[in-house]
Structure 1
């Protein structure tokens, strides 16, 4: 009779202990899931806001770039800040995040190249340019030309050739064989005005490519946000994080082992005490 009573007490203790441990672990897991889900929703909202603000700063066409040329320093301060905010929200190891990061950088570089072309168009309007001596002006011009991306310099060269309508093989070959930056420098120093038109056409070409990248970042963001939002809904419904399967398996096995181990250990102690005092 005493043994049956002891077994009943042990069984009751076992059930109570298992239930208590399970409740503690489950409550911790639930709180963790709620925290992660809330954080992810906040992250989605903030990322969407930062990207939309980043894109909204970009002028729509070449005329607006030129109208706001005098405010370019203020523009780039704000533009670069938004770029950093987007980059800090993303993980370059993630496939979708990396695509967004790459596109954000491309967009920034396109805008930068557009303003470099405008610098060459409005070189005489640069605040310090008129105060320079001839040598300083030449150095400044070379610096601006060298600062152009290779692709931008090639576009300017191609558009310049098209504008001149060079058709004779000898002349065309001579121009084509020239380095793009050297050709731009030659046109600037010789006062060939058609180079100004080539800059403007190049700007329009860069804006066209820029708009393509903007469309890309919108598409990728939609995919990323949909993936993350679906993940939030799954976690909210199932009450568990979706992520690395191996880590989840290890976590579950470890948790079950701890429950069984702790319960068994406590049962042994209780049984020992009952036998000892009996």
Structure 2
């Protein structure tokens, strides 16, 4: 009996232990690789979200500044050749805000915003999105690329651009929310 134990059972037990250990090592490595992959993807997604958030906020600030500039420029042109309607509106505006201060006096708007910088930022932002999934966002970005290539701006153009800014903000908020949900799912290993 001792001979059978030493000849067959003990070596079989060692062999099964060795096989079980090898299987355990294999599955532990697979789990570790998967976990590392998920961590890497999640970290990169979080960086991408932060980058998009920063770039969008900077671009919206720049676009808003240019819209304010365009509006002031149109108002200056109209004030040089006023009609009766403009005169009554300007006089009413002046009287209704006689004791108020102008917001623009406290803000430091840049004298000029570099056209090339804005277009470059818009194109870089455009390259960060998926051309299949993010069509609406890409269309809004393309709108602003086209907007800045037009030579002249009217009040109607400025109003439309303000609407597009609002649409872009809402669209980006939804996109960031969806991406954040993906990050949460990935971090749970789903």
TM-score, scaled to structure 2 = 0.70
Aligned position for 2:162: 211
Cα displacement string for residues 158-183 of structure 1 (whole angstroms, at most 9, x for unaligned residues): xxxxxxxxxxxxxxxxxxxxxxxxxx
Return the alpha-carbon distance in structure 1 between the equivalents of residues 148 and 126 of structure 2. Answer: 17
Are 2:111 and 1:104 aligned?
no
Contact 1:107 1:214 in 2 (8 A): no
> Is 1:228 matched up with 2:175?
no
User: Within 5 A, what are the aligned runs for 1:243-254?
Assistant: none
Among 115, 124, 132, the residue aligned to 1:76? 115
Q: For residue 117 of structure 1, what is the aligned residue in structure 2?
A: 152
In 2: Cα distance, 1:63 partner to 1:92 partner: 33
Give how far 1:209 is off: 1.0
Q: Superposition pairs for residues 35-74 of structure 1, below 5 Å?
A: 35-58=40-63, 59-61=66-68, 62-64=70-72, 71=112
Query: 1:25 Cα shift?
Result: 1.2
Counterpart Cα distance in 1 of 2:142 and 2:123: 10
Q: How far does the alpha carbon of each residue in 1:102-148 deviate from its partner, in whole angstroms, 9 at most, with x for none?
A: 110112222433xx126xxxxxxxxxxxxxxxxxxxxxxxxxxxxxx
CA distance in 1, matches of 2:162, 2:57: 14
Q: Give the structure, 1 or 2, with the largest relative contact order (CA under 8 Å, sep 6 or more).
A: 2
Q: CA deviation at 1:56?
A: 1.1
Query: 2:55 touches 2:125 (CA, 8 Å); kept in 1?
Result: yes
Q: What runs of 5+ residues in structure 2 fail to find an aligned partner? A: 77-108
Question: Which is richer in helix?
Answer: 1
What's the TM-score once normalised by structure 1's chain length? 0.49
3-state secondary structure, aligned to 2:114? helix
Measure the CA separation in 2 of the matches of 1:24 and 1:112. Answer: 54
| RMSD over aligned Cα atoms | 2.1
CA distance in 1, matches of 2:130, 2:72: 34
3-state DSSP of counterpart to 2:17: helix
1:239 aligns with 2:156: no
**Which structure has the larger Rg?**
1
Aligned counterparts of 1:101 and 1:16: Cα–Cα separation in 2: 52
Question: Which residue is 2:102 aligned to?
Answer: none
Structure 1, unpaired ranges of 5+: 119-202, 241-278
**1:86 paired residue number:** 125
Matched, 1:11 2:16: yes
Q: Size of the alignment, in residue pairs?
A: 148
2:25 & 2:160 partners in 1: Cα distance?
Answer: 62
